Amino acid sequence: MDRAALDAAYNNSAAVSNSTALMADLRARSDRLRSEMPRHVDLAYGDGERNRIDYFPAASRGPLVVFIHGGYWQMRAREDFSALARGPLALGIHIAMVGYTLAPDISLTGIVAEIRSAIRWLTQRAEDLGADADRIYVSGWSAGAHLTACVLDEPAVKGGLAISGIYDLEPMRCCYINDKLNLSEEELRHLSPLKQISSASVPLTIACGGSELPELRRQSADYAAARARAGLPGRIVEIAGCNHFTILEELVKPAGALTSLLQELVEP
């Protein structure tokens, strides 16, 4: 594909005509949850302005899921996604929404380092926050799914749920996304999960919507196939009828498809 074709192939907002309204509604619901559960919001894990965590505790001790927001590494914020905690919280799963510095103010290498720092910060404090420090998992949507795949090797992480993600950065280098991301050759090699299939990994569930852009579905399928060939634990799940934005509702709902996948992942 040439630049114009790639731009269209990865423009999720343009592909979903009401995406702006969907995200505005999610933000409004997220603001309500933050007002209902303000005790552990805006916790600083680093020195950057966006190095903050909103922690939503479940009613009792249980697993902790670290959620990483999307936005092609250059937009959106953790506060936009707080409502996603409602489904997991109903099942006794603690949720930590992680913020990070956006490109072009930082490189992708720097973003990955910040996510690692957030996980380590949470690992040290999980018990004090009411969670089980031995049951820490990571999840993310879109760019957050890519970051999820990048940090599965963190010692505390027991598994992951990657939603509607990017796992091969080469198309990113060739389209509009790279205008701010400015990927280096080293980042293409070392931060593309598809190119970094290890001989060992914790379980990873890869999810995408059946109505997502073809390139997003292909990326998920290719990454899942590569992990399967390497004998790594996990599976791929395509959720029928969901596009890149409506799939998020499957985590808001306690009986949603993504909430159920998360429950399966964290069950001892």
Residue 172 confidence (pLDDT)? 97
| Per-residue model confidence as pLDDT tens for the chain (268 residues) | 899 999 999 999 999 999 999 999 999 999 999 999 999 999 999 999 999 999 999 999 999 999 999 999 999 999 999 999 999 999 999 999 999 999 999 999 999 999 999 999 999 999 999 999 999 999 999 999 999 999 999 999 999 999 999 999 999 999 999 999 999 999 999 999 999 998 889 999 999 999 999 999 999 999 999 999 999 999 999 999 999 999 999 999 999 999 999 999 999 7
Handedness of CA 145, 147, 148, 152 (dihedral sign): positive
Written as six digits, the tokens of 169 are: 């950065």
Q: Which domains does the chain have, with CATH numbers?
A: 3-266 (3.40.50.1820)
Alpha-carbon distance of 183 to 205, in angstroms, equals 26
Residue in 42, 202, 43, 37 with CA at minimum distance from that of residue 121: 43
Query: In the chain, what is the greatest distance between 2 CA atoms, to the nearest angstrom?
Result: 52
Residue 73 confidence (pLDDT)? 98
Residue in 22, 85, 75, 86 with CA at minimum distance from that of residue 50: 75
Alpha-carbon distance of 152 to 154, in angstroms, equals 6
Contact of 88 with 262, CB cutoff 8 Å: yes
Residue 200 confidence (pLDDT)? 87
3-state secondary structure string across the chain: CCHHHHHHHCCHHHHCCCHHHHHHHHHHHHHHHHHHCCCCCCEECCCCCCCEEEEECCCCCEEEEEEECCCCCCCCCHHHHHHHHHHHHHCCCEEEEECCCCCCCCCHHHHHHHHHHHHHHHHHHCCCCCEEEEEEEEEEECHHHHHHHHCCCCCCEEEEEEECCCCCCHHHHCCCCHHHHCCCHHHHHHCCHHHCCCCCCCCEEEEEECCCCHHHHHHHHHHHHHHHHCCCCEEEEEECCCCCCHHHHHHHCCCCHHHHHHHHHHCC
Give, in order, the Cα–Cα distances in Å from 161 to each of 74, 90, 200: 21, 18, 17
Residue in 114, 150, 149, 120 with CA at minimum distance from that of residue 133: 120
